[in-house]
């Protein structure tokens, strides 16, 4: 069955966050309200395909991991009927998805419920698309490395969906974080935390007390201005698709007048050096103050002084962090760290504090009752996001 939908995929439990960010971007850049997305689980939002909205997401949407154009769906339970159905759908499709001579690749995700293996599914889909396009006079070839068009096969509720990956890459890999350090927080998840914590750069100082490679701080500075995700020379699949032909991909920050005040504190000098390199690659040096030292030695007065250099109008804000959860610290050291973090935050009256932690002891040791407690997964690590009103 032919479909024509835009699917924006993220981590489990982030569909409302992704919708909120896209609504903000749509109102600013497209001057229109975002339509209500269709239900697609807790980690995806789906709309009727709209090239303007797809391009907006590809340029600016920071909380997702994939932007997909859904083309075909099938409830076939075996390979032969899957191939036959896709072959007929592709052959009768009048959309210009591929150009003559394109190289394609197909990858499968979450297809374990199908009666055949992943490689067999990939082969059936690949053959159906190549044969179906050949019947329309369009020659395609298999190009596993650096394809012109990357196709994704996913399965949900016994329905296989074949989609074009419009970025052709993970949206989470922005390119600035080459020095990731240990246990890095993925870039899109840092953006999710900022949205969940209601970060507003026009009213909030942003303080990351255990910054590591600087992902939260960098994403905060970039999100404040709605800076494009990619450098101008980054190649995305959509750039060469006929559906996007003639479009300009030049992009400027949507909120260029924002004046974020972001402070990143890190105790390890070697990690600080790596973080500074990441900050420079991201181009946010003027928005971000780096402090080397123990967060326990920071106080409200010093944080306020650092923030005034970037935006003198900000006096309160948000503490946001992904603190250690136990692999590199002893249980006693970890308990002490969580208690100290609670005492540290208590001095910032009127602020908010948010933490993504994969340790069940955090809540009791921190010493305050969270206003929000939300299950959240970073990569394969399950934890909770806690938001406190200080």
Residue 326 has pLDDT above 80, yes or no: no
159 and 192 assigned to the same domain: no
Place 334 in a pLDDT band, splitting at 50, 70 and 90: confident
Is the pTM above the cut of 0.85?
yes
Is 129 a domain residue? yes
113 compared with 37, residue with greater pLDDT: 37
Range in 85-99, 130-144, 218-232, 318-332 the model is least confident about? 318-332
Nearest to 139 by CA among 88, 101, 94, 97: 101
Write the pLDDT tens digit of every residue in 2-29. Answer: 999 999 999 999 999 999 999 999 999 9
Residue 115: is its pLDDT beyond 90? Answer: no
Residues found in the chain: 390
Q: What is the pLDDT of residue 327?
A: 64
Q: Are residues 305 and 361 in the same domain?
A: yes
Place of tokens 């932007």: 67
Do residue 198 and residue 135 come from a single domain?
no
Token pair in block for residue 201: 């750069």
Same domain, 59 and 90: yes
Query: Do 193 and 59 belong to one domain?
Result: no
Per-residue pLDDT, 229: 95
Residue 363 in any domain: the answer is yes
Rounded to whole angstroms, how far apart are CA atoms 318 and 261?
A: 11
Q: Which helix (H) or strand (E) holds 317?
A: strand 316-321
- For the chain, what is the domain count? 2
Q: Which helix (H) or strand (E) holds 3?
A: strand 2-9
> Which alpha helices (DSSP H) does 167-249 contain, by range?
187-196, 215-225
Q: How many CB atoms lie within 10 A of CB 157?
A: 7
Domain-located, residue 68:
yes
- Residues 223 and 342 placed together within one structural domain of the fold: yes
Residue 153 has what pLDDT?
Answer: 96
183 has a pLDDT exceeding 60: no
Examine residue 142 and state whether it is found in any structural domain, yes or no: yes
Contacts made by residues 327-333, CB under 8 angstroms, sequence distance 24+: 327/183, 328/182, 328/183
The fraction of the chain above a pLDDT of 70, given in percent, is: 97
- Are 120 and 262 members of one domain? no
Residues 194 and 160 in one domain: no
Among the listed residues 37, 70, 31, the one whose alpha carbon sits nearest the alpha carbon of residue 52 = 31
Residue 175 lies in a domain: no
Q: What is the mean pLDDT of the chain?
A: 93
- Cα separation, 43 vs 36, in Å, equals 15
Query: pLDDT tens digits for 215-249?
Result: 999 999 999 999 999 987 889 999 999 999 999 99
Q: Are residues 351 and 217 in the same domain?
A: yes
pLDDT value at position 112? 87
Q: Of the candidates 131, 165, 199, which is a domain's last residue?
A: 165
Q: Where are the beta strands (DSSP E) in 37-115?
A: 44-48, 66-74, 103-109
Nearest partner of 205 among 308, 279, 285, judged by Cα = 308
For residue 173, being part of any structural domain is answered with no
Question: Domain boundary at 132, 165, 198, which?
Answer: 165
pLDDT of residue 39: 80
Reduced to 3 states (helix: H, G, I; strand: E, B; else coil), residue 187 is helix
Question: In the listed set 120, 135, 165, which residue is the last one of a domain according to the structure?
Answer: 165
Q: What is the pLDDT of residue 332?
A: 82
Bridge partners (DSSP) listed for residue 378: 381
CA–CA gap between residue 175 and residue 35 (Å, rounded): 31
- Both 256 and 330 in a single domain? yes
Cα torsion for 164, 169, 171, 176, to the nearest 10°? -160
Residue 329's pLDDT is 73
pLDDT of 40: 86
- CATH number, residue 284: 3.40.50.150
What percentage of the chain reaches a pLDDT higher than 90? 83
Instruction: Verify that 141 and 203 share a domain, yes or no.
Output: no
The answer to whether residue 266 scores a pLDDT higher than 80 is: yes
Top-confidence residue, 331 or 301? 301
pLDDT score at 51: 96
11 sits in the region (left: phi over 0; alpha: psi -120 to 50; else beta) called beta
Q: Which domain holds residue 346?
A: 187-389
Report the pLDDT averaged over residues 353-379.
92
* Residue 378 confidence (pLDDT): 74
Distance CA 186, CA 271 (A): 17
Q: What is the CATH number of the domain that holds 158?
A: 3.30.2130.30
158 and 193 inside one domain: no
Indicate whether 157 belongs to any domain: yes
Is residue 180 domain-resident? Answer: no
């Amino acid at each position: 069955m032919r479909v024509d939908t835009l699917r924006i995929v993220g981590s489990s439990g982030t569909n409302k966050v992704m919708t909120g960010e896209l609504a903000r971007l749509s109102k600013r850049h497209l001057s229109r309200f975002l339509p209500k997305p269709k239900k697609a689980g807790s980690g995806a939002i789906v709309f009727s395909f709209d090239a303007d909205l797809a391009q907006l997401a590809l340029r600016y949407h920071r909380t997702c991991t994939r932007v997909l154009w859904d083309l075909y769906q099938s409830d076939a339970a075996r390979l032969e009927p899957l191939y036959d159905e896709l072959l007929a759908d592709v052959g009768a499709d009048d959309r210009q998805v591929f150009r003559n001579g394109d190289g394609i690749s197909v990858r499968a995700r979450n297809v374990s419920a199908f009666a055949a293996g992943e490689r067999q599914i990939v082969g059936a889909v690949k053959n159906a698309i190549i044969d179906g396009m050949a019947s329309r006079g369009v020659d395609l070839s298999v190009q596993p490395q650096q394809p012109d068009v990357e196709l994704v096969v996913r399965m949900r509720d016994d329905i296989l969906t074949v989609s074009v990956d419009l970025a052709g890459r993970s949206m989470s890999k922005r390119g600035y974080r080459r020095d990731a350090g240990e246990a890095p927080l993925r870039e899109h998840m840092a953006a999710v935390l900022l949205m969940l914590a209601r970060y507003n750069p026009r009213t909030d100082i942003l303080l990351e007390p255990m910054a590591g490679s600087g992902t939260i701080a960098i994403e905060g500075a970039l999100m404040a201005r709605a800076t494009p995700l990619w450098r101008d020379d980054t190649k995305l699949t959509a750039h060469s698709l006929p559906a996007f032909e003639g479009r300009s991909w030049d992009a400027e920050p949507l909120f260029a007048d924002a004046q974020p005040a972001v402070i990143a504190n890190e105790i390890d000098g070697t990690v600080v050096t790596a973080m500074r390199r990441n900050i420079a690659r991201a181009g946010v040096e003027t928005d971000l103050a780096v402090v080397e030292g123990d967060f326990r030695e920071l106080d409200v007065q010093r944080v306020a002084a650092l923030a005034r250099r970037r935006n003198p109008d900000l006096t309160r804000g948000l503490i946001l962090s992904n603190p250690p959860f136990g692999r590199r610290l002893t249980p006693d050291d970890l308990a002490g760290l969580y208690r100290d973090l609670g005492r540290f935050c208590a001095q910032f009256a009127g602020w908010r504090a948010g933490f993504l932690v994969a340790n069940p002891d955090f809540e009791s040791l921190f010493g305050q009752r969270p206003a929000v407690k939300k299950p959240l997964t970073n990569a394969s690590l399950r934890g909770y996001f806690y938001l406190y009103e200080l």
